[in-house]
Amino acid sequence: MRGYSLKELAGLTSGAVSSATLSRFERGEIAPSPDKLRWLARAMELPYSYFFRTPKVINQVAFRKRSKLGKKVEQQILEQTRDFLERYTEAEHLMNIPSQKLPEFSGVIKSLEDAESAADQLRKDWRLGENPIHSVVEEMEAEGIRILAVDAHSAFDGLSSTPDSEEDFIVFNRNQPLDRQRFTLLHELGHHYLKIAPKLDQERAVNRFSGAFAVPASMMRERIGSHRKQLHPVELIGLKKDFGLSIAALLYRAKDLGIITEYAHRNAMVTISQIGWRKNEPEVFIGEEKPSRLLELLGRGIAEECISQSKAAELYGMKLGDFRDVLLQGEKYSSN
């Protein structure tokens, strides 16, 4: 979870635990004493109770295909996810709040048009209408999906639980541009929500779902028309400002809907490359994809005296002093 080698971890214990001893702990040859566990907890900035939690089993996860990571980084992200789920589940248990499961789409996606229809149906189920979504995370958390934002290498976009997992969760990289964060969140939602026929390209189907959920077809046509020979960059900036998708994704969406042809799409991609938007798009969408449900749950627990501040800090994965600062910021925000 911290990404340390045994040698690095041993150094952080000031020699109290050697790398050879750590290796024996890992192999299960000996069990660490309480004193050794305290050294390890301090070195890794973890509460001592971390080592006595009921571990969460993560059977299968789906990394987004564009995420190209080494095994060590994958394991680090999975352990961060496991730790997050353990803390989240304990918080829900202490608050007597049952875990929720997102129902799967009832049919099988056999075409890209089916993926479009599934996005429309989910918007209806979530009572979102056809307007732009201010925060994708907020809508997902409202449906009981656990969302974890991690600081990770740029090669990582996101991962999600599989439909047969005990809990629904999505992990995304908050170090990515905001439009990419939003598309990753919707992409992972599609992987979890849809049953896709084996013969259909999964990534294309999920991408179609993501684009349709972000920008419904009727809104796209209302903004730019049903048939166009070409699109002006200023139109794309306006769409991005409202819907929070990248310009490249919006152009692909226009092609998917038949608003522009394949030829027009290729020309548009050349144009945005020439003006430098493929690598550095204008950041015009105002928003933030920041998970908040766990913090709100802990705040409620403190207010109802179900959880002490020190326990809440542990479940939020922070030191008590830092957690109090987070609570103070929340109080200031509420008062404003």
Looking at the predicted structure, is the pLDDT value of residue 78 above 90? no
User: Would you state the pLDDT for residue 290?
Assistant: 94
**What does the pLDDT average to over 251-274?**
95
Asked if 189 contacts 168 with a C-beta cutoff of 8 angstroms, the reply is no
Pairing of strands 146-150, 61-63: unpaired
**Is residue 57 over pLDDT 80?**
no
pLDDT band per the 50, 70, 90 thresholds, residue 87 = very high
**pLDDT at residue number 332:** 47
Number of residues written out for the chain: 336
Which residue type, as a one-letter code, is found at position 127? R
User: Per-residue pLDDT for 336 more than 70?
Assistant: no
Q: CB neighbours of 232 closer than 8 A, spacing ≥ 6? A: none
The pLDDT > 90 percentage for the chain reads 64
CB neighbours of residue 55 within 10 Å: 9
CB 109 within 8 A of CB 200: yes
Residue 279's pLDDT band (boundaries 50, 70, 90)? confident
Cα torsion angle, 242, 245, 247, 249, sign: negative
* Residue ranges covered by each domain of the chain: 1-52, 293-335
The whole-model pTM stands at 0.86
CATH superfamily of 1-52: lambda repressor-like DNA-binding domains (1.10.260.40)
Q: What is the tens place of the pLDDT at every residue in 88-121? A: 989 999 998 887 777 777 789 999 999 999 999 9
The conformation of residue 49, written as its DSSP 8-state character, comes to G
Query: Which residues, other chains included, contact 214 with Cβ-Cβ below 8 Å and sequence gap of 6+?
Result: 133, 182, 183, 186, 243, 244, 245, 249, 253
The answer on pLDDT for 65 being more than 70 is: no
Of 177, 184, 181, 174, residue with least CA distance to 152: 174
Residue with token string 């910021």: 329
pLDDT for position 334? 44
d(CA 318, CA 1): 15
Per the structure block, which two tokens stand in for 278? 């493929």
Confidence of residue 331 (pLDDT cuts 50, 70, 90): low
Element (H, E) at 103: none
Query: What is the tens place of the pLDDT at every residue in 10-41?
Result: 999 988 999 999 999 999 999 999 999 999 99
Q: Is the pLDDT of residue 154 over 50?
A: yes
Going by C-beta distance under 8 Å and a sequence separation of 6 or more, which residues neighbour residue 278? 248, 269, 272
Strands 195-196 vs 61-63: parallel, antiparallel or unpaired? unpaired
Flag whether pLDDT at 230 surpasses 80.
yes
Q: For residue 208, report the phi and psi dihedrals to the nearest 5 degrees.
A: -65, -45
From the list 177, 200, 205, 201, the residue with the least C-alpha distance to 189 is 205
Contacts within 8 Å (CB) and 24+ apart, 239-243: 239/215, 240/179, 240/281, 240/282, 240/284, 240/285, 241/284, 241/285, 241/286, 242/132, 242/285, 243/132, 243/133, 243/214, 243/215, 243/219, 243/285
